[in-house]
């Protein structure tokens, strides 16, 4: 057998709240409990540690069965307590606390002698892991991966059952946004022979890239965990992932001392390389095979990579594969409606797809390293990534977390720069500069192929701070033209608009509502440090040296309900809401970020009782000119102002607003917004009608309330009840309402301005999934999802 890496996500038992875990029975001992050292009866955990024949069925009642990824915070009730989290409202008014996970598992006798490890992609946060009563370790950061070698402390075959226990203490926070609680990313059980590729043991770079060939350099660290030296033959085969064909290969070998590592370096020539870019996310793979002295293959390891070049300039912006490319980015935290931070892989990919459809090409993982599956999705779908370290911290733990981010991420072609920190208070100081320099140096040593950056806000020019990174990030640099002025003063500085806009809007809301905490969607409200989307983008268009902008944020997220607090529980910064429903500003970005013709009218046209009042109508478009008509009467044609919007003040009368977009004087596009009648029916709009039958895949179903004519009712707030049958489960609901205190873990949800969302996951069984949506007074709708 060669390497296996199996999901360890299913069938955990979870207990919310603290449990005294007596892992070290005798003072002075590291841990580990033998079967004769029985502790107090009745404490299931202790019994689990000592009793070889523990039966998962004998679990006390308050343990619930969960599958990972899991976020217990999102299951809680909203509490008006401003002290929850690091800043008022930062955890979205959801309590955090302590939780304990346990999983009982078998390891076959045949696995004795192998190296067996458990890898956690991310646990929020401060987790301690015991296996069969042995303390494996504590990992504080909720954003970096960690693994433990379990080989010595496992029970093999009839030695007994194995129990892993994970205590998670999420009482303290690491950020000022919703971070969730629990084992919210995947867990993997990996088994290898004792001679194997080390953890994160390959590093693939492309030092030479031309149109006709590329040198692919592969450094492979092989670990010999035997107590005698071992001979290894390492073969690296480069495979085109699209065709599956091997395009080149290289082998070398040598002796590796006992309990040691050795790094082998190979170069493989790839002819006519297919370059990775957001438009053509072409991927290659290195297949590493390790043979022992008998020629037997003892390990096979896969590394995905891409061939591409990146260049950042002081004056002309960014070049990908030698061609200029403006960074059209969004900053994002992790969470999503219905699931908190425990995103199934499909939801991660769904979010990236939505951002891509808008024309965004860059994702800033703010302010922490991303989930590995997000990096995979960005590689695959074509989204560049600014991968960010959580803190400005050069303590041993800080460096350790930075290294985990770098080793884990450095083969991903999507990552184009490493951000060392965001808005730390030591920015602009000499002490801060020393710390930042250390982080930058560590990063350059581990990955010299990408520049370092930092997202600065507290002083760009003091203490030599900005000089400690390759690219200086300007968060909200448009304030007093700081970015433009600095470009003149520091002409050798490479700059990026690392964070911008922070414009607050609520989907489908066009008037301030301080009681319910809603911000009008016109895009005119932003904090003192922010600006309108139009200003943020125009800045870059006028100042190419800015490299691009990374808008705060792509999606609303829980916490930071600026400009309000309770009853608001989530932010308003998103271009899309927490469900991924576009707000009006989405169409602004799409109009300036894509070449697709865009024509968008706002607001809706349901203003009953306001007949004759002037309503401000706005158009986002990339046409040359737009004509607006109300009930077939022209309100005039206006020439589009590039990177801006058009506006009309229209006396309200019910009916239909029509916008006609012209290119070169030819009408190319028409959009209508009509007054909807009363709610009459439900519409279900799944993102796909066939999903994988793997217990993981998710169908994202947009739910709308429509009138009898099928027009979405933009003010509808009907509560929709979902009933599911067949091979799927409802894993969450949402509606994007920043002040809704309904639970996301439910089978019902009110619409918010016409829409809500339901997430349905395959339960692993064969067959179809039927979802029925009903609501008092509305025609019921049912859809069928196939599983394959
Ligand atoms: C930035 C900060 C973000 C978020 C944002 C809100 O300064 O980096 O985390 O707080 O402000 O506008």
Q: Which of 674, 694, 723 is the last residue of a domain?
A: 674
Q: Are residues 449 and 582 in the same domain?
A: yes
Mean pLDDT of 413-442: 98
Q: How far is ligand 1, taken at its centre, from the CA of residue 454, in Å?
A: 14
Q: Are residues 588 and 609 in the same domain?
A: no
Q: How far apart are CA 573 and CA 521, in angstroms?
A: 11
Q: How far apart are CA 131 and CA 45, in angstroms?
A: 12
Residue 733 lies in a domain: yes
Residue 399 lies in a domain: yes
Q: How far apart are CA 163 and CA 166, in angstroms?
A: 10
Choice among 45-49, 265-269, 383-387, 394-398 with the minimum mean pLDDT: 45-49
For residue 175, the ligand 1 atom closest to its alpha carbon is 9
CATH number of residue 90's parent domain: 2.60.120.260
| Confidence at 1, pLDDT banded by 50, 70, 90 | low
Residue 783 lies in a domain: yes
Question: Which pLDDT tens digit goes with each residue over 630-680?
Answer: 999 999 999 999 999 999 999 999 999 999 999 999 999 999 999 999 999
Question: Which pLDDT tens digit goes with each residue over 704-722?
Answer: 999 999 999 999 999 999 9
Q: Do 155 and 198 touch, CB atoms closer than 8 A?
A: no
For residue 366, the ligand 1 atom closest to its alpha carbon is 9
Q: How far is ligand 1, taken at its centre, from the CA of residue 93, in Å?
A: 18
Question: Which pLDDT tens digit goes with each residue over 116-143?
Answer: 999 999 999 999 998 887 889 999 999 9
Q: Which of 305, 331, 356 is the last residue of a domain?
A: 305
For residue 502, the ligand 1 atom closest to its alpha carbon is 12
pLDDT at 22: 52
Q: Are residues 407 and 326 in the same domain?
A: yes
Q: Are residues 375 and 489 in the same domain?
A: yes
Question: Which pLDDT tens digit goes with each residue over 723-739?
Answer: 999 999 999 999 999 99
Q: How far apart are CA 527 and CA 501, in angstroms?
A: 9
Q: Are residues 40 and 165 in the same domain?
A: yes
Q: How far apart are CA 663 and CA 626, in angstroms?
A: 9
Q: How far is ligand 1, taken at its centre, from the CA of residue 573, in Å?
A: 9
Q: Are residues 212 and 182 in the same domain?
A: no
CATH number of residue 656's parent domain: 2.60.40.10
For a mutational test of ligand 1's pocket, the pick from 329, 367, 519, 552, i.e. the residue with the most ligand atoms closer than 8 A to its C-beta, is 552
Q: How far is ligand 1, taken at its centre, from the CA of residue 285, in Å?
A: 37
Q: Are residues 237 and 321 in the same domain?
A: no
pLDDT at 332: 98
For a mutational test of ligand 1's pocket, the pick from 560, 564, 570, 571, i.e. the residue with the most ligand atoms closer than 8 A to its C-beta, is 560
Find out whether the beta carbon of 735 lies less than 6 Å from any atom of ligand 1. no
Q: How far is ligand 1, taken at its centre, from the CA of residue 388, in Å?
A: 14
Find out whether the beta carbon of 475 lies less than 6 Å from any atom of ligand 1. yes
Residue 498 lies in a domain: yes
CATH number of residue 493's parent domain: 3.20.20.80
Q: Are residues 459 and 346 in the same domain?
A: yes
Percent of the chain whose predicted confidence (pLDDT) is above 70? 95
Q: How far is ligand 1, taken at its centre, from the CA of residue 178, in Å?
A: 13
Q: What's the whole-number average pLDDT of the chain?
A: 94
Find out whether the beta carbon of 552 lies less than 6 Å from any atom of ligand 1. yes
How many domains does the chain divide into? 5
Find out whether the beta carbon of 151 lies less than 6 Å from any atom of ligand 1. no
Q: Which of 285, 305, 325 is the last residue of a domain?
A: 305
Residue 587 lies in a domain: yes
pLDDT at 784: 98
pLDDT at 58 over 50: no
Mean pLDDT of 10-37: 62
Q: How far is ligand 1, taken at its centre, from the CA of residue 723, in Å?
A: 39
For residue 177, the ligand 1 atom closest to its alpha carbon is 9
pLDDT at 61: 56
Which residues are identified as catalytic?
423, 499
A 10 A CB-CB count for 19 gives 16
Question: Which pLDDT tens digit goes with each residue over 225-260?
Answer: 999 999 999 999 999 999 999 999 999 999 999 999
Q: Are residues 473 and 391 in the same domain?
A: yes
Residue 600 lies in a domain: no
Q: Are residues 146 and 203 in the same domain?
A: no
Q: Are residues 158 and 294 in the same domain?
A: no
pLDDT at 576 over 80: yes
Residue 598 lies in a domain: no
User: For residue 513, what are the domain limits?
Assistant: 314-593
| Distant-in-sequence, close-in-space partners of 233: CB < 8 Å, separation ≥ 6 | 251, 252, 253, 290, 291, 292, 295
| Confidence at 38, pLDDT banded by 50, 70, 90 | very low
Find out whether the beta carbon of 422 lies less than 6 Å from any atom of ligand 1. yes
| Confidence at 407, pLDDT banded by 50, 70, 90 | very high
Spell out the alpha helix ranges (H) of 382-429: 396-409
Find out whether the beta carbon of 303 lies less than 6 Å from any atom of ligand 1. no
Find out whether the beta carbon of 502 lies less than 6 Å from any atom of ligand 1. yes
Find out whether the beta carbon of 499 lies less than 6 Å from any atom of ligand 1. yes
Q: Are residues 640 and 692 in the same domain?
A: no
User: 596 versus 64: which is more confidently predicted?
Assistant: 596
For a mutational test of ligand 1's pocket, the pick from 476, 499, 555, i.e. the residue with the most ligand atoms closer than 8 A to its C-beta, is 499
């Amino acid at each position: 057998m060669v390497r296996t890496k199996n999901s360890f996500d299913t069938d955990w038992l979870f207990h919310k709240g603290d449990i005294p875990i007596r892992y070290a029975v005798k003072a002075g001992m590291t841990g580990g409990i033998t079967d004769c050292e029985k502790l107090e009866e009745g404490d299931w955990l202790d019994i689990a540690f000592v009793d070889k024949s523990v039966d998962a069925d004998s679990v006390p009642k308050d343990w619930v069965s969960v599958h990972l990824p899991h976020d217990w915070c999102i299951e809680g009730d909203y509490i008006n307590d401003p002290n929850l989290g690091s800043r008022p409202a930062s955890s979205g008014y959801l309590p955090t606390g302590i939780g304990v996970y346990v999983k009982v598992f078998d390891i076959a006798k045949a696995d004795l002698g192998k190296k067996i490890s458990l890898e956690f992609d991310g646990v929020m946060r401060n987790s301690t892991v015991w296996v069969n009563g042995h303390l494996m370790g504590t990992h504080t950061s909720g954003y970096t991966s960690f693994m433990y070698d379990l080989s010595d402390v496992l029970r093999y075959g009839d030695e007994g059952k194995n129990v892993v226990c994970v205590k998670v203490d999420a009482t303290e926070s690491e950020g000022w946004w919703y971070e969730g609680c629990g084992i919210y990313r995947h867990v993997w059980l990996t088994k290898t022979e004792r001679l194997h590729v080390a953890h994160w043991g390959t590093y693939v770079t492309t030092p030479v890239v031309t149109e006709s060939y590329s040198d692919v350099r592969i450094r492979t660290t092989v670990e010999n965990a035997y107590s005698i030296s071992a001979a290894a033959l390492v073969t690296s085969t480069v495979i085109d992932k699209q065709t599956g064909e091997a395009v080149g290969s290289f082998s070398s070998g040598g002796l590796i001392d006992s309990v040691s590592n050795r790094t082998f370096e190979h170069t493989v020539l790839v002819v006519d390389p297919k370059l990775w870019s957001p438009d053509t996310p072409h991927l290659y793979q290195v297949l590493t095979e390790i043979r022992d002295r008998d020629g037997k293959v003892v390990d096979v390891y896969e590394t995905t990579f891409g061939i591409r070049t990146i260049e950042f300039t002081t004056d002309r912006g960014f070049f990908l594969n030698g061609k200029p490319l403006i960074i059209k980015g969004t900053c994002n935290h992790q969470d999503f409606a219905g699931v908190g931070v425990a995103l199934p892989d499909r939801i991660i990919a769904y979010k990236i797809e939505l951002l891509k459809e808008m024309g965004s090409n860059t994702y800033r993982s703010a302010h922490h390293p991303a989930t590995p599956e997000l990096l995979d999705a960005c590689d695959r779908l074509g989204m560049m990534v600014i991968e960010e370290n959580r803190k400005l911290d050069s303590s041993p733990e800080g460096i350790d977390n930075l290294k985990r981010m770098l080793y884990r991420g450095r083969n991903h072609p999507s990552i184009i720069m490493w951000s060392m920190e965001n808005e730390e208070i030591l920015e602009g100081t000499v002490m801060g500069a020393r710390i930042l320099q250390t982080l930058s140096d560590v990063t350059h040593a581990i990955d010299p192929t990408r520049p370092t950056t930092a997202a600065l806000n507290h002083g760009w020019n003091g203490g030599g701070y900005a000089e400690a990174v390759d690219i200086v990030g300007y968060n909200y640099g448009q304030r007093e033209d700081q970015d433009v002025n600095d470009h003149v003063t520091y002409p050798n500085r490479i700059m990026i608009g690392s964070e911008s806009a922070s414009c607050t809007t609520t989907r489908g809301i066009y008037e301030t509502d301080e009681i319910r905490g809603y911000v009008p969607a016109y895009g005119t409200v932003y904090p003192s440090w922010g600006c309108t989307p139009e200003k943020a983008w125009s800045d870059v268009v006028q100042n190419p040296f800015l490299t691009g902008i990374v808008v705060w944020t792509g999606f609303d997220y829980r916490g930071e309900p600026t400009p309000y607090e309770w009853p608001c529980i989530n932010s308003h910064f998103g271009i899309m809401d927490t469900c991924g429903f576009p707000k009006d500003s989405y169409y602004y970005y799409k109009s300036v970020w894509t070449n697709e013709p865009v024509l968008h009218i706002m607001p809706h046209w349901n203003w009953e009782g306001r007949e004759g009042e002037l309503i401000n109508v706005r158009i986002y478009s990339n046409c040359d000119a737009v004509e607006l008509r109300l009930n077939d009467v022209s309100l005039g044609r206006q020439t589009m102002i590039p990177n801006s919007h058009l506006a009309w003040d229209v006396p309200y009368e019910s009916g239909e607003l029509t916008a006609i977009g012209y290119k070169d004087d030819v009408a190319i596009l028409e959009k209508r917004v009509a007054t909807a009648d009363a709610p009459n029916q439900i519409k279900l709009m799944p993102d796909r009608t066939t999903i994988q039958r793997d217990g993981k895949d998710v169908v994202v179903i947009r739910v709308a309330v429509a009138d009898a004519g099928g027009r979405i009712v933009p003010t509808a707030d009907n509560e929709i009840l979902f009933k599911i049958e067949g091979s799927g489960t409802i894993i969450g609901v949402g509606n994007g309402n920043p002040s809704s205190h309904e639970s996301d873990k439910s089978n019902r949800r009110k619409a918010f301005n016409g829409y809500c969302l339901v997430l349905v996951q395959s339960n692993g069984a064969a067959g179809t999934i039927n979802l029925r949506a009903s609501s008092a007074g509305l025609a019921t709708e049912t859809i069928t999802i196939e599983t394959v």
